[in-house]
Amino acid sequence: MEKASYIFQTPRLQIRRATDSEADADFFYGIWTNSQVMALVGFPYGLRITRNEIREMFERESDSEYNQWLIVEFRQTYVPIGECKLGWPNEDGISETDVKLLPDYWGLGFGTEIKRGLVNYLFTHTDCRAVKATPNKKNLASQKMQEAVGGKRVGEDLFQFPREMKDYTCDVPHYVYMVLREDWEKMRNQK
């Protein structure tokens, strides 16, 4: 089993790489199979995955913090409350992020705290020019989270799963938000 590797901290939380431990696999299984968490990302009944598949996925991950599943936990108690992801910049210099929290922690400002940490980390550790997110049109909390960290709505789109997945997924109409590096730098300099 790999030891936890911390990436960054926020005032209340710490973000670490997932390990191939049973505890981490159980946590991800709990969040990814939760229909409340996964419905707005296209899995109304939760993700079809097993704990063993999750452990095998984590065993194959690289040592990088980018494009890997990260666990969000309280700094003081190490209790996990969600997951997030740091996307490595693509050829256009755009990084993508992801944040999912267990329902007990919704509405308490943790999403914005995590998103701010992800944006700060990407702009200070990569040369990305923008950080992108694609919240479901029905997910007002995620849209507010994007705006709270300087994200601007720049478009909308529809994600559709492959035909063979249609019986357990649904289309995801979403907005496209971008936090531009120059806007982030202005916000940081105003503090």
Residue 52 lies in a domain: yes
pTM: 0.93
H or E stretch including 173?
A: strand 172-180
Q: What pLDDT sits at residue 148?
A: 95
Q: Is the pLDDT confidence value at 2 over 50?
A: no
Domain with residue 58: its CATH number is: 3.40.630.30
Compute the Cα dihedral for 28, 30, 33, 35 and give only its sign: negative
Cα 83 to Cα 18: distance, rounded to the nearest angstrom: 9
- Cβ atoms of 45 and 37 within 8 Å: the answer is no
Tens of pLDDT, residues 24-74: 999 999 999 999 999 999 999 999 999 999 988 888 888 889 998 899 999
For the segment 84-104, what is each residue's pLDDT rounded down to a tens digit?
A: 999 999 999 999 999 999 999
Structure-token match 């409340």, residue found: 36
As for how many domains the chain has, the answer is 1
pLDDT value, residue 11:
96
Residue 1 lies in a domain: no
Q: How far from the centroid of its chain's Cα atoms is residue 137's Cα?
A: 17
Give the Cα separation of 191 and 170 in Å (integer): 42
Structural domain boundaries enclosing 148? 6-189
DSSP 62-96: -S-SBTS-EEEEETTT--EEEEEEEPPP-TTSEEE
* pLDDT, tens only, 152-189: 999 999 999 999 999 999 999 999 999 999 999 988 88
